[in-house]
């Protein structure tokens, strides 16, 4: 029996998308189960906790932008750092 297609709606913004995913955890669980079963799931890189001192205005901007996107600010900063490092590596 073929698996039912998972329908994910289109969203107007990231905050709306975050609300939808928070209220539909079963969809994320099903997507992950299918990815694991098919071998398409990737393991996340190991994480190491670090402490950084950031200028207060930069931190405030990051917090505001993260909130606009419906993300925790530390996740947002980690995402920005990852993207910047990939760009730098590509231009080296």
Nearest to 76 by CA among 54, 31, 23, 11: 54
Check residue 40 and give its pLDDT. 82
Tokens 């996107």 — which residue?
Answer: 69
**Domain 44-92 falls under CATH 1.20.120:** no
Question: Measured between alpha carbons, how far is 92 from 72 in angstroms, rounded to an integer?
Answer: 31
Token pair belonging to 30: 């099903």
Residue spans per domain, the chain:
1-43, 44-92
pLDDT digits (tens, 9 = 90+) for 17-44: 999 999 999 998 998 888 888 888 877 7
Place 92 in a pLDDT band, splitting at 50, 70 and 90: low
Check residue 38 and give its pLDDT. 85
Check residue 2 and give its pLDDT. 61
Q: What is the pTM of this model?
A: 0.55
In contact, 66 and 13? CB cutoff 8 Å: no
């Amino acid at each position: 029996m073929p698996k039912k297609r998972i329908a994910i709606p289109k969203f107007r913004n990231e905050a709306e998308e975050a609300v939808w995913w928070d209220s539909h955890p079963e969809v994320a669980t099903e997507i992950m189960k299918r990815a694991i079963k098919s071998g398409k799931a990737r393991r996340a890189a190991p994480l190491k906790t670090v402490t950084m001192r950031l200028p207060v205005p930069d931190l405030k901007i990051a917090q505001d932008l993260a909130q606009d996107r419906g993300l925790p600010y530390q996740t947002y900063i980690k995402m920005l750092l990852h993207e910047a490092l990939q760009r730098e590596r590509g231009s080296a």
